[in-house]
Every structure is written in structure tokens, then in C-alpha cells.
Amino acid sequence: MSIAAWIGFIGYVVGCYCFGSRFPFYKLELYAGIANRRQSAVPLFLVDGEESDIWEYTRFSGIEPEAFLNDSIPTSVTWMVEEAARWVRSHWSEPGEAPGPHRVAFGFRLLSVDEHGEIVEEHKMLTEGFAWKAN
């Protein structure tokens, strides 16, 4: 890699560190206008209040996979939401089985940009239930 490329890279990293989300090409606002919306979302799966991978859990109960597919929340990764719902449906607990030891919740991490150009993140959980850790 050339010296000029290294200097540019170091300058960009230092700029991002010093200026945070105000630095050019680091703003969500720069790209959000393309879709003509103020908010976007990515799926969020919580286990006992901590972010986790939904595919590491099985034998779900109480959580409603149909609630995952919420058309009022804009997301570019609908396929991921549909896959998560399919996973829960196909890994449901047996009738009469005790609920799993882990409290699980599915929803979205909502991202928007405030009037100062800062990224704002909030969580909107849609459904809760229980699950077992997969072996």
C-alpha cells in the first residue's frame, strides 16, 4: 500500500474519532434520503435482555413469529425477518412442554437521524416468550 493511501486512511480514522458521526461519509443521513424515509430498522433478538443470535435457540414458546412481519416498520432486510420467523415456527416447543429457561424477545433496532445529524437508536420489541439454548 502506498504512503499516500496510509496517510489518507490514518487521516480518516483520526477524523472519525475526533468528529464522530459529523464526519463526512460517516452519516446515516447521507444515505437515508435515497429511500425517502426518516427511519430504518434491523431485526433484534434479545435473550435475557442481551442481544443474541436467534439460531442459537430452539423450543420456543410464547413468542409469536407472525408478529415479526410488521409492515409498519421500514426495513431493507425483510428476508432476514422472514427467516427468523420461519426458524421459530420450525423450532417450536412440544405441546405441554415446560417453557424454556431463557426469556426471549424479537423486535427491531430503529435508526434515525436527529436535527444535529446524530444517529439515534431505539429498540422496539414486538413479541416475547421463552426458549432453550440449542445444543
In this predicted model, what pLDDT tens digit does every residue of 111-125 receive, in sequence order? Answer: 887 888 788 899 999
| Ranges 4-18, 19-33, 56-70, 84-98: which has the least confidence | 19-33
At residue 64 the predicted structure's pLDDT band, cuts being 50, 70 and 90, is very high
* Rounded Cα distance, 47 and 132, in Å: 10
SS3 16: helix
pLDDT band at 85 (very low <50, low <70, confident <90, very high): very high
Domain spans of the chain, in order of start:
1-35, 37-133
Q: Compute the average pLDDT of residues 52-64.
A: 96
Residue 52 has pLDDT above 80, yes or no: yes
Residue 125, Cα to own-chain centre: how many angstroms? 11
Q: What's the whole-model pTM score?
A: 0.72
Quote the pLDDT of residue 30.
47
**What counts of helices (H) and strands (E) characterise the chain?**
3, 5
Share of the chain above pLDDT 70, in %: 85
Q: What is the DSSP letter of 102?
A: E
User: 79: which strand partners?
Assistant: none
What burial class does residue 16 get, using C-beta atoms within 10 Å of its C-beta: 0-12 exposed, 13-18 middle, 19+ buried?
middle
